[in-house]
Amino acid sequence: MSDSAAQPVITISDFLKHAPAELALRVLAGERNLPEREISTARIQKLGLALAGFTNYVRPGRVQIVGQSEVWFLDHLETDERRAAISRLALEKISCMLVTKEIAPPAELIEMAEEAGLPLLQTPLVSSAAISLVTEYLQSALAPRELRHGVLLAAYGLGVLIEGESGIGKSECALDLIMRGHRLIADDVVEVRRTASDQLLGGAPELLREHMEIRGLGIINVRELFGVAAISVRKPIGLVIRLERWAEAKEVDRLGIDERSIEILGVKVPHVILPVSPGRNLSTLVETALRVHLLRIRGSNAAQQFAARHSEMLKRNDE
């Protein structure tokens, strides 16, 4: 069902390639090590305390910010003191340094970064703006993720993940839903990322985006067939629907009183199991499951209302 991956990391090469264009990043030193040095956390660090001697505060895997205060501190040191302050940073262990506000860093910092193969980058943005953009980008790029086998649709403003064994009819069901006005996000392989403690964002790997595989028809391009309104790039996942063959479905809720959930990347997502058999209209059932879920979000649960009416009727009969 899923293919979990290790905690993502990105190289400095990828960071330079995909970071927001507003950063206008350029390399001052350490270009030879861009493909080897890696960023593993979205947390940003400023080097002020470390330059003053508190080197234990330097954490690996982070972008280290060198702003006006850090450069001012280094500029007011004698040459030997400046070199000593920089050497205490253990440059070989730092992912990269980012000099903000297009400040000219001390020549010793450029020289020692080049010697250590430390990527030294520069941006024209002030520290606060640079930190905000870098953090936002890294939170997305380094979000925990896994690949799941299924189809992801955008329907009624909700990301709906349809899962089930191969050949059960997920793609055909999704195609019918697309023809009813819903939008395809991913078919066959769904990339799920945890972008917040309680939010999962679903999308498609770049190679598969906009495409579906329909048995008997092969690979189809949904955008070319149905127009740009038939596709979506990504959506927060709000409901997981699992299709199971009727004979194998053992956990079907006959009344629908209890709300089920499934855990993905540590986040609980509402979960519905739909038995599949010849003659059952899957797309209608999925659409109805969606509407039922949306009503429950608004506080209306037909099964609970029915059970309450039934209990009230029994109570009146006993009287």
Judge whether 170 counts as a catalytic residue.
yes
Q: Enter the tokens of residue 50.
A: 């470390």
The whole-angstrom separation of Cα 139 and Cα 244 is: 35
Domain with 206, as residue range(s), is: 145-305
pTM beyond 0.85: the answer is: no
Contacts of 261 (CB under 8 A, 6+ apart): 268, 269, 270, 271
The whole-angstrom separation of Cα 32 and Cα 113 is: 11
What pLDDT, in 10s, does the model give residues 57-114? 788 899 999 999 999 999 999 999 999 999 999 898 899 999 999 999 999 999 999 9
- Which CATH number covers residue 94? 3.40.1390.20
Stretch 159-188: mean pLDDT: 93
Residue 255 has pLDDT above 60, yes or no: no
Q: Is residue 30 part of a domain?
A: yes
Q: Residue 279: what pLDDT? A: 72
Judge whether 254 counts as a catalytic residue.
yes
Judge whether 211 counts as a catalytic residue.
no
In one letter, which amino acid is 187?
Answer: D
Instruction: Please pick, among 88, 188, 223, 260, the residue that the annotation labels catalytic.
Output: 188
Q: Is residue 316 part of a domain?
A: no
Contacts of 312 (CB under 8 A, 6+ apart): none
> For residue 1, what are the CA distances in angstroms to 5, 170, 207, 229, 281?
13, 13, 20, 29, 24
Residue 203 has pLDDT above 90, yes or no: yes
Q: Residue 269: what pLDDT? A: 95
Instruction: Please pick, among 62, 148, 170, 211, the residue that the annotation labels catalytic.
Output: 170
Residues 202 and 265 in one domain: yes
Instruction: Please pick, among 76, 254, 315, 316, the residue that the annotation labels catalytic.
Output: 254
Ramachandran angles phi, psi of 146, nearest 5°: -150, 160
Percent of the chain with pLDDT over 70: 89
318: confidence class by pLDDT, cuts 50, 70, 90: low
Residue 42 has pLDDT above 60, yes or no: yes
Residues 133 and 151 in one domain: no
Residues 89 and 203 in one domain: no
Instruction: Please pick, among 149, 194, 223, 260, the residue that the annotation labels catalytic.
Output: 149
Residues 225 and 92 in one domain: no
Q: Give which of 291, 204, 208 is closest to 256, Cα–Cα.
A: 291
Judge whether 215 counts as a catalytic residue.
no
- In this structure, the number of other CB atoms found within 10 A of the CB of residue 264 comes to 21
Residues 61 and 153 in one domain: no
